[in-house]
Each structure stands twice: as structure tokens, then as C-alpha cells.
Amino acid sequence: MSELKIKSYETHVLGTPWRNITYLILTTEEGLTGVGESRVVGRTHSVIELLKDTERHFIGKSAHDIEALYERFTLDDFNVPGSEAITAYSLVEMACLDLKAKSMNVPVYQLLGGKLRDKITAYANGWYTVEREPVQFAAAAKKVTKDGYKALKFDPFGKGNLELTRAEFNKSLDLIVAVHEAIPKDTQILLEMHGRFAPHQALEIANAVYDLGIRPGWIEEPCRPTDLQGHAFIRSKSKIPVATGERLYTPKDYKELFEKDTADIIQIDPTNFGVWQAMKLIQTAETHSKMIAPHNVGGVISTLAGIHLATACRPFKILEHFNDYADKHVKQAADWYPEVINGEFQVPNKPGWGVTLNLDFIKANPPAMNDSIILDPGLNMFKKDNWHEREQKQ
């Protein structure tokens, strides 16, 4: 078996109006390449600079030794790892998995335990880039179902923060009702709250939605992501399941989640937790009867990482997908993209992630810069009325 000793690395950033997608390419001494990807929220420049600071953790090391890689990123620096460090680790780990699988001529999911399913159920996000009015939301939702999706997610709560005014509370419910009435009865609605609310407000919304006869698959991140006690309070009283986890970065964060019985659905993001690390955590989630719905707001590698993780994951529920509606151009970042057909991804069988990056395209679509600093546009969803429109490229 090849040693897969890492010789060099390079980073590339694909820009969009509201998100940057960061790619890491590792090259081994034999000339084999592996790719990782992450959408870094507001910290693209920081993560890339951190990779420079920590290249001693992976340059000259073997891509086979993923457990040692995690130890170096989380222990050897005698520091407490946060979102930037774990995202940097995840980029390297994903590229290592790509290298390992390519060297063995197998898909990545074969390194995670093998194939449990041939198709991966997906839900649509990013589709409601329209005026925040019921008629507009309803029309956009109809298109999603015509495209074959059997589930969709949206945040109808404007720039809500802790509490909504009565007018905004009622408008949000009107938007939910409009979407519910516009789509087939067997289409699953998922309600995104983006960590907006105080627990009492999130619970009031959940109860109001349930009393309207609407049965969402979940309410997502109803209060601040680290307020796991607040999530546990909502879960204990809500008739709608609770989902969270996309902004938890370490096993310790999840330890508290399990101890407090905080959620029904775990939304681990392999691009800021690690694919291998996520697979280990999923085993614990299963012992607590939690289902897994990987968070995926990235491009081709992020989507493939979610697919491969879901392929080998026993308690899998559903996988998020943006790129049919928001920034479709990100699909061109590689020579192939896994498309959703009738609401499902087909599980690929190509070695590694199964794609080659289109570096010319990525370089032709750079992020916004200020001198040498990469800027992160973000959404500003607590201040901006029309954040959900995502300033789409035409």
C-alpha cells in the first residue's frame, strides 16, 4: 500500500454573492491529489491562514493516519480547538480520505463501513429567494416540488431575534401556511430558525404551527446553538421534533447535547467536524435513538461528503441541498456534479470523491477581496430584511 506521504498543499476559494467555498488540495510524493472543501462562515481568510500556521501537522505526514491528524490539530498545540481549527482539520481530513480511497480504487464510503443504500433522500434549501410575501413563497415552493423534491426547508422569520413582534409573528405563520397549502400533502416541510429565538418564543411558534394542522419534520436550531439547555426545554414541550448540530464542532459539544437530550435529529456538518469524526459520533447518536440529517451548504465536495456519509450511516434521515436554487454556478467547480433526481441523489461508485476540480473556473470566480484579505459576504440575517434573497447572480 502506498505511503501517501503529503508533499504539498494549495487552497482555492470560489466566491458567490453570499458564501465563499474553500477548497484544499493535498498532493502526495507520488503525485496523487486529494480534495477537501468547506463553506466557512465569516472566517475564510482566518482558516486559510491557520492552514499555513499548522502545515506541520500534515505536510510530510501520511494521509492514512487520520486519527493522528486529529490529535495533532486538537491536542499538540496545547490549545482549545474552535470552529476555525476544526474546519481546517476537516479540510485536510476530507482530502486525506479522498487520497486513501483513490489509492485503494474505492469510493470514500467504503472507508466508512460500506454501502447501506443506493439512493440518498434530499431536501431543497435556498429556493425562497423571492419577496417575503405568501404568494411569492407559495409559487417558489411549487417549483421545488415540480423539480421532484419531496422535502423543502425555509426560514420565514425575517430578521427575527429573540422575539417577534405580533405583526411579524403573524406574517411568519402566513408564509408557512402559504407554502403548506401550495405543495402536495406528501411533501415534507422543514422549518429553519437559524438560532434566532429565546426558548419561550420558539416554543410559541412551534405550538402555533402545530395548532394550524401543519406537521413539519422539524424545527431547526430554535435558539442559540450553544444554548443546549434551551433546546432541551423546547424539545421536552414541543410536538414538533427539534433538529440542531450544524454549529457544534467537537465531541465535547455533542456530549452535552446527548446528556441534556437536546434534539431528535442531529445535523452534523462533515466540513466543519470531519467525515471520519462524524462517523464515530453517529455511532453514539444511534445509541441515543437520534437520526442524522447532515448539514450541507457547500459545493460539489461538501455535497459528495454528505452523500458518502449518508451512504454508510445507519440512522440517516435526509441530506440538505442548495445548489439547484442558490448559486447554480458552483456546480461548475468540478468535472461532474451529483444531481438530485426525483428528490434523491444516486450513490456514486467512483474512486475517492469521484471528481476533479475545475481550477480555471474557480479562479475565474474569486471571492471579494480587500487588499489581501478575503471578504465573507454572509447574510446578515439578524439585521437585513431581505437576507433570504441571497443577492443571486443573474
Do 159 and 299 fall into the same domain? yes
**CB 24 within 8 Å of CB 32:** no
Do 132 and 88 fall into the same domain? no
Do 342 and 267 fall into the same domain? yes
Do 209 and 86 fall into the same domain? no
Q: How far apart are CA 109 and CA 332, in angstroms?
A: 23
Do 217 and 255 fall into the same domain? yes
Is 231 a residue of the active site?
Answer: no
Residue 388 lies in a domain: no
Interval 64-87 mean pLDDT: 93
Do 153 and 11 fall into the same domain? no
Q: Into how many domains does the chain fold?
A: 2
Residue 393 has pLDDT above 50, yes or no: no
**CB 36 within 8 Å of CB 301:** yes
What is the pLDDT confidence band of residue 377, given thresholds at 50, 70 and 90?
confident
Residue 391 lies in a domain: no
Residue 104 has pLDDT above 90, yes or no: yes
Q: Which of 45, 57, 231, 295 is catalytic?
A: 295
Do 83 and 129 fall into the same domain? no
The model's pLDDT over 161-204, given as tens digits with 9 standing for 90+, comes to 999 999 999 999 999 999 999 999 999 999 999 999 999 999 99
Q: How far apart are CA 131 and CA 329, in angstroms?
A: 22
Q: Percentage of the chain surpassing pLDDT 90?
A: 94
Interval 95-115 mean pLDDT: 98
Interval 234-258 mean pLDDT: 96
In degrees rounded to 5, what are phi and psi of residue 374?
-75, 130
Residue 364 lies in a domain: no
Range of the structural domain that residue 55 is part of: 6-106+370-374
Is 194 a residue of the active site?
Answer: yes
Residue 205 lies in a domain: yes
Do 45 and 85 fall into the same domain? yes
**CB 315 within 8 Å of CB 290:** yes
Do 52 and 120 fall into the same domain? no
The model's pLDDT over 332-357, given as tens digits with 9 standing for 90+, comes to 999 999 999 999 999 999 999 999 99
Across 77-81, 207-211, 269-273, least confident range: 77-81
Q: Which of 12, 194, 231, 321 is catalytic?
A: 194
The model's pLDDT over 2-59, given as tens digits with 9 standing for 90+, comes to 899 999 999 999 999 999 999 999 999 999 999 999 998 788 999 999 999 999 999 9
CATH code: domain of residue 30: 3.30.390.10
What is the pLDDT confidence band of residue 81, given thresholds at 50, 70 and 90?
confident
Q: What is the pLDDT of residue 78?
A: 87
CA dist 51 → 47, 217, 261, 368, 371 (Å): 6, 38, 35, 20, 20
Do 61 and 129 fall into the same domain? no
Residue 379 lies in a domain: no
Residue 392 has pLDDT above 60, yes or no: no
Q: What is the pLDDT of residue 80?
A: 87
